[in-house]
Amino acid sequence: MFDIKSEPVSDVSSFSTSFVFAIVPSSSGPPVGYGLAFVMAPSTQFPDAASEHYLGLFNPSNNGDPSNHIFAVEFDTVNGHDDETNFKGNHVGINKNGVRSSASESAEYSDYGSDVKTEVYLDTGDLIQAWIDYDGRSKVVNVTIAPASVIRPTEPLISYPINLTSVLNERMFVGFSASTGKETSFHYISGWSFAINESAPQLDVSQLPPPLKVQSPPPSSPSTFNPLVTVVVPILSAMTLMLILFLASIFRRRLRGENLEEWERDCPHRFSYRDLYKATKGFKDSELIGSGGFGSVYRGVLPSTGCEIAVKKITRNASQGMREFAAEIESLGRLRHKNLVNLQGWCKKQNDLLLVYDYVPNGSLDSLLYHPKDNLVLNWEQRINILKGVAGGLLYLHEEWEQVVIHRDVKPSNILIDISMNARLSDFGLARLYDHDQISHTTSVVGTIGYISPELARTGKASKTTDVFAYGVLILEMACGRRPLESDIFILVDWVMECYEKGRVLDAADPKLNGIYDMVEMEMVLKLGLLCSHYNPESRPSMRQVTRFLNGEDQILAFDPSPYSQITFQSSSGFTQFIPPSSRTSTASFLSSTSIDVGR
C-alpha cells in the first residue's frame, strides 16, 4: 500500500512502473485467457468480481461505477468487452473504474530511434516488458511495450491525458490481476519495479527467470479449473511481492546507514553503483569525455538496456561537492525542456557522488567552437539555431517553470550539442531556485571570469539579469569566434563595442565564417550581445525579449552602447519601448580589477 496523493491531498503524485510479463497459452488447446492488467486499487478485496472480460476486478453490476476507484492498464488477448474501443483482441488499454477502455491501441512497438511499428503478440508465452509513467503535473499517462530483449522505444504506444484525482484515493494498493475463460492460460510476472515521484528502477532482464513451461494434463484427468484461483492468486502474489520489495528497500537503507535526505524525496531514479561502474568500464580514462572543478564526466553504456549515458562523478572532497550534487538533483531532476540536458538519475555510495544524464554525442559547444574535429566550422545557421535553443532554455528557467531557476554558470562548456545540432543547457551545480514572487538572496560570487556581471562581482547577488549578462557574452562569442578574455588587454565586450562605435561592427564577425552570413542578422546579433551584456542590469532585456529579437518579432530601433545610453526597440505590436540610461563607468577598468578565481 502506498500514499499516492501528495500535498495538497487533491493532487495525485507522479508514479512510474516497469515490469516483465508473459502470457503462456494452455498446451491443451487454443488460449482463451482474457489477459492481465496492472492495477491500482483501494483494497485487495474484490467482492463478486467476475472472470473473462472483467479481469477479476469488476462485475456486470459495478462495471463503470466511479466508487470503484480503480485504475488499470490492460494487456488484452481477446476482443474487448466494448468493441468500439477494444477493437482488436491483441491490444493495450487504459481503464478507470471499469472494463471500457478510455484509450486503446494494438500491441505494437518501434525499435529505438525508428518509426516502423512491429506488432507484439501478447499470448505467445514470450517475455514482454511494459513501462507505465503518470505525470501528476501534466496529467498524462504514457504506456510503452516491447519484447523484453528490445531496448525501450523512444515513443510510447499510448500517451493519453487523464486526470486521476477523482479516481485514486489517498492510499492505494498496487499490483496485477488476470482472468481466464473456460480454458486456462498462464500469467507470469518475471520482474517488477515501481516508484512514486521518480522513474521506476530499471530491470536487468538478463537476470529474470523465464516463464514455466506448461505440461499437458493426462487425457483422463478431470478438469480442476478454478477461475477464482486464477483471478485472485496473481494479484495477491503481486501485492505480497510489492510489500516485500518495499520493506527490503527500507532494510537495506538502514543497513547501509543511508537515511532518506530531504532532497532525495523529489529526485529522479537512483542507479546502483554496480551498474554505473560496469557502464563506464570502471571509470576508465578511455571513457572520460570531460572534466571540471567539481569532478569528471564519463561516457557509459548501461548493460541492461544498451543505452548510452553520461556519468558525472563529483569529487566529494571538493568544498562544494555535496552542495552541488544536491542542488543539481533538486533543480535539474524536475525540469523538462527540449533545450535542457535530461537528468536520468543519480547514485550515492560512501565517497562517490554520481549524476546520470542522457549522452549528448556532439559534446560541448566550447569544443565545437574552439577545438573542432577535422577543422569543421559551425556555420552561421547552426550558430543562430544554438543561440535560439539556449535562449529558449533560459526562458523556461526564468519564467515558465513553477519556480525561478538561476543557472549562474552560462558558458559554452556548459552547453551540449545533440545529434541534430540543437543546444542543451547543462551543469546545474551552481543553480539556485526561488519562487516567482520572491527575489534571490544568494550572496556569494560564483561563476566563471568573463561571464560574471559587474553587479554580481560587487554584491554577490545572482538574478535573472546576471544570467542574461552571461548569455550576452555567449552571443558575442558565437558571432566573433573569440573568448571573452584572451589576454590581459583583450576584453571581447569592449572590442565589439569599439567596432560598433567606429561604424564597423561587422569587422567583429568570426573570420572563419568567410563572410557567409546574413549581414543584417549578424549586425542584430552583435547589437543584442552588447545589449544583454550591458553594465546596467536594468538596461538588459529579459529572456523573453531576447527570444523575440532572435525570432524577428521585435527590432532594436536605436542603440548606443555608451555608458549613459538610452536604448529603443519596437515590438511587433507597434509599441515603442525605452530602456533607461546606464549608470556604469568604465568597462575595461572594472574587468581588469576583477581578479578573483571562480572559474571551474
Q: Is residue 12 part of a domain?
A: yes
Question: What is the grid cell recorded at 592?
Answer: 581588469
At residue 494, the pLDDT reads 93
How many angstroms separate the CA atoms of 562 and 509, rounded?
20
Produce one character per residue of 443-464: b if its CB has 16 or more CB atoms within 10 Å, e if not: eebbbbebbbbbbbbeeebbbb
pTM: 0.56
- Catalytic residue IDs: 409
Q: Distance from CA of residue 446 to its chain's centroid?
A: 26
pLDDT score for 269 = 72
405 with 449, same domain: the answer is yes
Residues 1, 169 contacting (CB under 8 angstroms): no
Check which CATH number belongs to the domain holding 503 and give it. Answer: 1.10.510.10
State yes or no: 313 annotated in a binding site. yes
Do 184 and 25 touch, CB atoms closer than 8 A? no
Tell me the C-alpha distance between 373 and 119, whole Å.
Answer: 42
Whether 167 and 291 share a structural domain: no
Specify the DSSP class assigned to residue 26.
P
Look-up: residue for cell 510489500?
Answer: 243
Instruction: Output Rg (C-alpha) for the chain, integer angstroms.
Output: 29
Neighbouring C-beta atoms of residue 250, cutoff 10 Å: 10
pLDDT of residue 390: 98
The residue among 358, 386, 416 that closes a domain is 358
**Secondary structure class of 84 (helix, strand, coil):** coil
- 214 in a structural domain: no
Q: What is the DSSP string of 330-364?
A: HHHTT---TTB--EEEEEEETTEEEEEEE--TT-B
Q: Strands 576-579, 567-570: parallel, antiparallel or unpaired by DSSP?
A: antiparallel
What is the pLDDT at residue 482?
96
Which of the listed residues 253, 288, 309 is the one where a domain comes to its end? Answer: 253
543-550 helix and 519-532 helix, angle to the nearest 10 degrees: 170
Residue 599 lies in a domain: no
User: Which CATH number fits the domain that encloses residue 347?
Assistant: 3.30.200.20
Whether 262 is covered by a domain: the verdict is no
What whole-number distance in Å separates Cα of residue 322 and Cα of residue 91? 47
* Amino acid (1-letter code) at residue 70: I
Residue 34 lies in a domain: yes
Per-residue pLDDT of the chain (600 residues; tens, 9 = 90+): 555 555 444 567 889 999 999 988 876 555 556 788 999 988 877 767 776 777 778 888 888 888 888 999 999 887 655 544 444 578 899 999 888 888 999 999 987 666 788 999 988 888 999 999 998 888 999 999 999 988 888 889 999 999 988 888 877 889 888 887 765 678 889 999 998 888 888 888 888 877 765 555 555 445 454 544 444 444 444 454 455 444 444 444 444 444 455 555 555 577 888 899 999 999 999 999 887 656 789 999 988 778 899 999 886 554 455 666 666 676 667 788 999 998 888 888 776 788 898 899 899 999 999 998 887 899 999 999 999 999 999 999 999 988 899 999 999 999 999 989 999 999 887 888 878 877 665 556 677 899 999 999 998 899 999 999 999 999 999 999 999 998 777 899 999 999 999 999 999 999 999 999 999 999 999 999 999 999 899 999 999 999 999 999 988 766 665 543 444 555 544 444 444 443 333 333 333 223 233 333
Tell me which DSSP letter residue 2 carries: E
Catalogue the E-assigned strands of 50-183.
71-76, 91-96, 101-106, 108-110, 117-119, 128-135, 140-147, 158-161, 171-178
Instruction: Give the pairing type, strands 269-270 and 295-301.
Output: unpaired
Query: What is the C-alpha separation between 245 and 241, in angstroms, rounded?
Result: 6
Residue 543 and residue 569 in one domain: yes
- Do 369 and 334 lie in one domain? The reply is no
Q: What is the rounded CA–CA span in Å between residue 225 and residue 177?
A: 17
Q: Indicate whether 258 belongs to any domain.
A: no
Q: Which pLDDT does position 466 carry in this prediction?
A: 96
Q: Check whether residue 319 and residue 396 sit in a common domain.
A: no
pLDDT of residue 557: 63
Q: Do 449 and 330 share a structural domain?
A: no
Question: DSSP assignment, residue 482?
Answer: -
3-class secondary structure, 114: coil
Length of the chain in terms of residues written: 600
474 and 496 share one domain: yes
Q: Are residues 385 and 347 part of one domain?
A: no
Of 304, 297, 272, the C-alpha closest to 283 is 297
User: What residue type is assigned to position 422 of the chain?
Assistant: N
Residues 6+ apart with CB under 8 A from 154: 110, 112, 113
Question: How far is 134 from 197, CA to CA, in rounded Å?
Answer: 9
- What is the grid cell recorded at 377? 566550422
Taking a C-beta distance cutoff of 8 angstroms, is the pair 17, 132 a contact? yes
Distance CA 243, CA 1 (A): 7
Distances (CA, A) of 214 to 94, 187, 319: 30, 11, 60
Domain match, 352 and 323 both:
yes
**pLDDT at position 345:** 83
d(CA 84, CA 96): 16
* 3-state secondary structure string across 483-501: CCECCCCCEHHHHHHHHHH
- Predicted pLDDT of residue 578: 45
Given 332, 358, 384, the domain boundary residue is 358
Closest CA to 125 of 253, 12, 24, 267: 24
Beta bridge partners of 128: 21, 147
Q: What is the pLDDT of residue 307?
A: 85
Q: How many CA atoms lie within 13 A of 372 on its CB side?
A: 10
CB 496 within 8 A of CB 526: yes
What angle in degrees, to the nearest 10, is found between the helix axes of 464-480 and 519-532?
Answer: 150
Q: What is the pLDDT of residue 118?
A: 92
Q: What are phi and psi of 406, to 5 degrees?
A: -100, 120
CA 59 to each of CA 55, 98, 361, 362, 426: distance values in angstroms, whole numbers, following the listed order = 9, 9, 53, 56, 52
Number of domains forming the structure of the chain = 3
Task: Mark whether 247 and 294 lie in a shared domain.
Answer: no
Distance CA 406, CA 6 (A): 26
Q: Are residues 236 and 311 in the same domain?
A: no
Is position 221 within any domain? no
The answer to whether residues 336 and 434 belong to one domain is: no
Answer yes or no: is 598 within a domain: no
Domain boundaries, position 321: 269-358
